[in-house]
Structure 1
């Protein structure tokens, strides 16, 4: 694993030159990428959501497309459409921007739920269906979406089935004062992310993703994951617990984190670190619509973690 771990370190360091003082969001982003999931970054405007996404994309030698989501966007603007060719008397499919390796869905919750739902099949199955025909997406395929908090003007809350397609939902937060001073200096000559060079090819990324699946997860850890998941389904403060897809996603994320840290096996601390970013956006707290929903969800998950016995 030494060579593979060097590749991951190079990737982390490359992103960290543009995103200063945020090792945790960077690592969680790579967990989603290497475990074959998708990433949602939710935070206030201006804290670096799009910069993180662009830095990850530029660090990969893969096809990259960015979509700025707006209220008037249609599903065909994402998926593509069939165009009639009069000279040939037939329709031809023109692929949309979703046909790429890395898709930055910027401010995804500024478009309508109808358009948001265009991503569901792509994120789950790596394919899209247009007018009865199925089109396979390239591999690897990674959706990196950003969204503003729900209480901001002009946002449409992502439905639960859309949220469930994201492996991790993370926040970036404001930087510490000394780090922010370095950010100012770093931006003296322009956007640092624009100067990044790719450090991993698409083939290397596919190899790393395949290696993650080989990480060993002991049966006691499977039981630990399921204890946490089942506790969400019977908790008195929760209206909706974690689905089976959520349990599988946590399992995959645990493999990804262990691999990033240079281990061929997972440990209980991997599960503990990932419960909040992987599960908090999948559960629905009773009596809460959207405001403060994830904070309440995190509090419930911390309570469940504190009560769930850790395997020896």
Structure 2
């Protein structure tokens, strides 16, 4: 087995150390999810809501520890990771509302009689998490899947295994049935094994190249749902802006929050030719030069 370590990017201190799951262990996790699926899928809607509410309560109780763990593993300042922990909590309410709005049973009269739309659970969902929002983004896949009656195998990014462990412990504390949520740790080989473990859905946040590979891999398996949240190349268009300093503040925050490692971060700045555009570029450059890099617990953050 391969042992790997997660370290604090500022200090090099070890946050987590463990072994990557072998293909056999990955298959065992997928089999556990498959075995748990019929019972979980057959449970009443309210049972599944109650389960994710218990998980939400655990997240609320452990929010400070979750935020600190994310900071230690990613280097993000606490003000930012506190918002991520809060987003994980809020996602439960959002997902319940979305589930009620988009599912259920609906019947309508048609020219040929009556048509009824029903929704059913799909199966075993694999979730491959990213490193930049290691709690919020996989959480946003896992919670809706659970509400829909699906079971989950979650592989955190190999850069942020501690957060994966924290989430696994939160689900365990919420007393979900055995096999409903399974966590496997590891890198690319572990992820590849999960793709071949007989999954019914793949939920991924990461690069466009990886997403293109997944699309091709499952092209002949149309029953496998793909939810691919991929990278962005976002422009900021600034026109007729009188206050170059105010613009610079917005641009720098958009481009460099999370050190620019968000799919929503600005990567291009489009300004008019001439004095106005030059003033904006100069203001952005000057403010960017004031950015400092420091540990997540620095004061000020």
Length-normalised TM-score, structure 1: 0.27
Length-normalised TM-score, structure 2: 0.28
